[in-house]
Chain A
Amino acid sequence: MNKRGSEWLLENVIFILLNLIFFSIMAYFIISNINSASVMQEEYAKSIALALDSAHPGMNFTIKMADAIKAAEKNLGKEHMDQMVTINGNQVTVKLIDKGGYTYSFFNNLNMSKPTSNYYLDEKNNDYVFFVGGYNEPKSN
């Protein structure tokens, strides 16, 4: 191969490599956005709130949260898994990253504020289990 031919090859190889790097960064960015903990937090907080809005006393339901549990274990640590889902009054907070969390409210006047008896993490099945106990003390308009 002459000098001119090797230069041409080198330039094209560099060009193709740069293209690949760019596309890889873009693909990584999009995939990390889709699977990011912040997106999952929002998704699960809203799913739980909507399920609670539709729930009645005596019902129980399970939400499969394997991906969120994995993210919480990685970001919060196993010892802080109790912070992953919290229900305070009529607000659900899902926290999958150390400095973050997503809170969403529900309008159904359910008493869901007792962890372990109203909701708990089933680590064996990678689920979150919710037990709807009863309604809160009613409030007038």
Chain B
Amino acid sequence: MNRRAIEKLMSLYWFAVLTLVTLGIVYVSHIFYGAPYNVQTIESSVLEDQIQNCLAHQDYIVPSHLNDTFRNNFLKYCHLNFSVEDVYGWKNNSEYYVEVNVYKYDQGNFGSVGDEIFNVSAGNINLKTAWQISSNVPSSGILSPTRKVNTIVIHSTEGSTTSGALERISNEKLSVHYLIDTTGQVYSQQKPYYEFQDAFRSPNDPASHAGCGTGVDKIQKCSSSCVDSNGKGMLGLLDSNCQQLTGTLSKSQWCCIPGYNTNSIGIELVNLGARCSTDAKGASSCQNSETFDGEQWQSFSQAQINSLVNLVSGIAYVYNIPLDRNHIIGHYQITTEKTDPGPAFPWDEFMKELQAKGAVAPSATASSSDQVQRSFYALDKDGNQYLVTVLGLIGKNEKNIASA
């Protein structure tokens, strides 16, 4: 090929490169300007402003608002209208979700958050689930799993409050990946409960939630080399003779399977366990409970189970964990020293719901990860202090309208 031909070929080559670059720029600008401009984070903040102004005036909470009448007419009292006329295929009440929780707050006692005294919610609760998942579970597209995780361990706190449970975890130098309170709220390192950030670990880092502890470890390790008649490895707590360890065990029979901290994710559920108490009038500290072997165990709330299903579904997707009882286990399956989550945990119902949902990518269900929960402090006329949390979520399915 002579020099002229090479020059012509090079011209064509550069022309082709230029064409490709131009088309690329046009395509990117089309994508950029074609996508809806997202104002939902600002909208969420304005919604939370409106609710804050509705609940408190100049730092004083409106006392008449903390009752059932207000709860039942929340949208009316706060001048909110979540109904969107279904002319463009939007469903009523599906675009917004608000939730308000009011807690007692003791500034003198190291700013401790007390019991919840009031809550109200309205709108599409599925938005909350999507928000929690996107806020808590690393999406495979955003944060790749950098740790091999093959098991999810479910615990219960054996306490009634989130702060109490996290305080104990921190004091005992333990840690956990997630905690779900009785309202279904999920807390994690990305979204910790107030000052208790130290109690949480990223799902990509091991946490100290399923170790054997020095006491048990000194006694014996459960056998992990047993096989059944079909040659399959036996799971559960087995003694040296491959016998299942059940019932009340003496301390010498205690055993533990080591190594779970390395490859597992720990989820704590706020629950009293068997610590329900009865006062002088016979009223139980557990609103709902079940009796097993003569002991009263607190029931798990449906909101808690729903959040757990969504959370485990997202984690299972990210870390490719099979949705079965060999990989989603209770703490009691690791050590004979523990019983949690306890007999009141509805394993059958939970696994059924989880398997029906399957492992779902967190990013596929979530659209509102930038929207954040607001907290503010307020007083009543007697000088009592309250902590109020307001969650306002927007989940609009935007589209261009063909003809307005």
Interface residues of A (CB under 8 A from B): 11, 15, 18-19, 22-23, 25-26, 29-30, 33-34, 36, 38-39, 42-43, 46, 49-50, 53-54, 83, 86, 88-91, 93, 95, 99-105, 107-110, 135-136, 138-141
Question: Are B83 and A139 in contact, CB atoms less than 8 angstroms apart?
Answer: yes
Inter-chain CA distance A103–B8, complex, in Å, is 53
Q: List 10 additional contacts besides A11-B8, A22-B18; criterion CB under 8 Å.
A: A30-B26, A38-B400, A50-B46, A99-B403, A100-B404, A107-B43, A108-B81, A109-B81, A138-B73, A138-B79
Give the residues in chain A near B79, CB-CB below 8 Å: 108-110, 135, 138
Complex Cα spacing A39 to B35, Å: 10
Interface residues of B in 75-121 (CB under 8 A from A): 75-77, 79-85, 88, 90, 95-96
Given A91-B85, A139-B81, are A34 and B43 also a contact pair (CB < 8 Å)?
A: no
- Which of A22, A23, A53, A93 is the one whose CB lies under 8 Å from B401? A93
Task: Say yes or no: B19 contacts A100, CB within 8 Å.
Answer: no
Return chain A residues, CB-CB under 8 Å to B36.
Answer: 42
A38 to B36, CA, bound (A): 10
Given contacts A19-B18, A42-B37, A53-B43, contact A100 B84 (CB under 8 A): no
**CB proximity to A under 8 Å, residues B24-63:** 25-26, 29-30, 33-34, 36-37, 39, 42-43, 46-47, 49-50
Min C-beta distance of B96 to chain A, whole Å:
6
Number of B interface residues, CB 8 Å? 47
- Please give, as numbers and ranges, the residues of chain B lying within 8 Å of A102 by CB-CB distance: 400-401, 404
Instruction: Tell me, rounded to whole Å, the shortest Cβ–Cβ distance linking A101 to chain B.
Output: 3
CB distance from A128 to the nearest CB of B (A): 16
- What distance in Å separates the Cβ of A28 from its nearest Cβ neighbour in chain B? 10
List of A residues within 8 angstroms of B403 by Cβ: 99-101
B96–A26 CB distance below 8 A: no
- Report Cα–Cα, A95/B398, bound state, in Å: 16
In Å, the complex CA distance between A135 and B54 comes to 14
Cβ contact within 8 Å between A105 and B84: yes
In the complex, whether B122 has a CB less than 8 A from a CB of chain A is yes
- Report the bound CA distance from A91 to B396 in whole Å: 13
Q: Judging by beta carbons under 8 Å apart, are B37 and A46 in contact?
A: yes
Return chain A residues, CB-CB under 8 Å to B76: 138-141
Contact B22 A26, beta carbon cutoff 8 Å: yes
Closest to B404 in A: A101
Q: 13 A-B pairs, CB-CB below 8 angstroms?
A: A26-B26, A30-B25, A34-B33, A46-B37, A50-B43, A89-B85, A100-B400, A103-B88, A105-B90, A107-B43, A110-B79, A141-B72, A141-B74
Q: Is the CB of B29 within 8 A of A140?
A: no
Question: Which of B11, B50, B95 contacts A105 (CB under 8 A)?
Answer: B95
Q: Once the chains are docked, how many angstroms separate the CA of A93 from the CA of B74?
A: 28
10 A-B pairs with the lowest CB-CB distances in the bound complex, closest first: A101-B404, A138-B76, A109-B81, A33-B33, A93-B404, A109-B79, A53-B46, A95-B404, A22-B22, A30-B29
